[in-house]
Amino acid sequence: QVQLVESGGGLVQPGGSLRLSCAVSGSFFRALNMAWFRQAPGKEREWVAAISSGGWTTYGDSAKGRFTMSRDNAKNTVYLQMSSLKPEDKAVYYCNAGGRDTPLYRGGPSWGQGTQVTVSS
pLDDT tens, the chain, 121 aa long = 689 999 999 999 999 999 999 999 988 999 999 999 999 999 999 999 999 999 999 999 999 999 999 999 999 999 999 999 999 999 999 999 999 888 888 899 999 999 999 999 9
Nearest alpha carbon to residue 66 among 84, 53, 50, 49:
84
Spatial neighbors of 100 by CB under 8 A, at least 6 apart, are 31, 32, 33, 52, 53
Please tell me the predicted confidence (pLDDT) of residue 27: 81
User: How would you classify the pairing of strands 57-59 and 46-51?
Assistant: antiparallel
Angstrom distance (rounded) from CA 72 to CA 79: 8
φ, ψ for residue 15 (rounded to 5)? 90, -10
